Structure 1
C-alpha cells in the first residue's frame, strides 16, 4: 500500500494507521491556516480564551485554564498578553486574593467580532474538502475523543459544565 496524498497528504505510509499522528498533522494545518491572515497576531488559543471570558464574565483564571486544558503558567502568560493588548482585564477575587477574575474589555468585544469571522473562514478553509455532514461527523468524533479522555472520574466535580 502506497501513500495516498489525496487522503493523508504528506504523512508517511508507516504513520497513517496512527490517529495521533493524523490529529497532530491536522493541528499543524489548523495553525498554518489560522496564522494566514490572523487578526493582530491573536492565536487560536487566545481566541478561545476571549470567547470563554465573554461567555463567562468574571471567570477565574484557574478555571479558564482547566476549560482549555492548559497549565497554570501557560494560561497566565496568555492572559497577560491579552491584558497588555487591552482585550481583557484581570482583577483580584473578593473572597480569595489568589483568584484572578477575568473580564472582556470593550476592545476585546470588538476584536471578537472580527475574530469570529476569521475563525469561521479558517474552519471553512480547513474543512473545505468535506461535505457538511462530514464536517459535523468530524466534530462529533473529535468531541467523543475529547469527552472520553477528559470526563471527570466518578466523584470528581464538574466545575466547568453548565
Structure 2
C-alpha cells in the first residue's frame, strides 16, 4: 500500500531530535568542584628510591616461586640456592618512574639444573603499595609466557 503520510514521518523524527536537544539545553550547567571534592590528598607519587639490595629479597623470590609452582603448575619444584647474585640496573628510566632495582642470579633447583633468574624489587610494589614488591622470572620455567622470550621482559 502506498505511503500516505511521508511528510509526517520526517516531521516526527525532527520533533524527536528537537525534544531531546531541548531537554539537554535546559539542564543544569556544570559547576566547579568545591573544596571537599578537590583531590587535595592525591598530590602525586613521592618516591624515595630507598630499595634493599638484591640479596635481601632472595627469600621472597624463593617462597613466591615455590607457591607458584605448587599452586598453579602442580609441581614440587623449588629453589634450593643462589649463585652469582648481582645488580643489573637501578632506576634505568627517568627519575619520576617507579624506582626499581633489577637483579640477576643463577638459581639451583630441586631438579638439579641451575637456571638464570631475573627479578626486580619495586618500591611500593607490595600488597596495596605498602612495602617493596618483587617480580621474578626463572628462565625455562615461565610457563604462562608472562616474560617471554627467555625472561627478557623481566629485565630493563
Category of TM-score, reference length = shorter chain: under 0.3
Q: Look at both structures and tell me which one has the larger radius of gyration over its CA atoms.
A: 2
Higher strand share: 2
Higher helix share: 1
When the two structures are superposed, what TM-score results if normalisation uses the length of structure 1? 0.20
Larger RCO: 1 or 2 (CA < 8 Å, sep 6+): 1
